[in-house]
Structure 1
Amino acid sequence: MIENTHHDATRRHLLLAAAMEELAKFERKESEFRQKDRQERAAELHLPVDAINVQ
C-alpha cells in the first residue's frame, strides 16, 4: 500500500513537472508574440516602442 502511494506521488510529481515546463514554454512564446505584435503595431503607427516617460 505504501509503495502504491509513493508511486502515485512520484507520478504526480513527474506530471506536474511536465505541465509546469509546458506552461513555461507557452508563456515564453506568448511573451515573444506580444512583443513582436506590439513592435509591428508601433511601426504601423510610427510610434516609439520604448516606454514614454511622463514627468
Structure 2
Amino acid sequence: MTENTQHGVARRNHLLEAAQEEMVKFERKENEFRKKDREERAAELHLPLGEIKVH
C-alpha cells in the first residue's frame, strides 16, 4: 500500500510540475502577444510608447 501511495504522490507531483510549466509558457506567450498588440495599436495611433510607462 505504501508503495502505491508513493507512486501516486510522485505521479501527482509530476503532473503538477508539467501543468505549472505549461502555465508559465502560456503566460509568457500571452505577455508577448499583449506587448506586440500594444505596440501595433500605438503605431496606428502614432503614440510615443517609449515615453509612456506601461506596467
Same structural fold, with TM-score higher than 0.5 when normalized by the shorter chain: yes
Query: What is the count of residue pairs matched by the alignment?
Result: 53
| Deviation at residue 52 of structure 1 after TM alignment | 3.2
CA spacing shift, 1:51–1:23, aligned 2, 3 Å = farther
Identity %: 66
Aligned to 2:33: 33
Aligned to 1:7: 7
Query: What's the TM-score, normalizing by structure 2?
Result: 0.89
Unpaired runs of 5+ residues, structure 1, are: none
Root mean square deviation of aligned Cα? 1.3
Query: What's the TM-score, normalizing by structure 1?
Result: 0.89
Deviations 1:21-47 (A, max 9, x none): 000000000000000000000000001
Unpaired runs of 5+ residues, structure 2, are: none
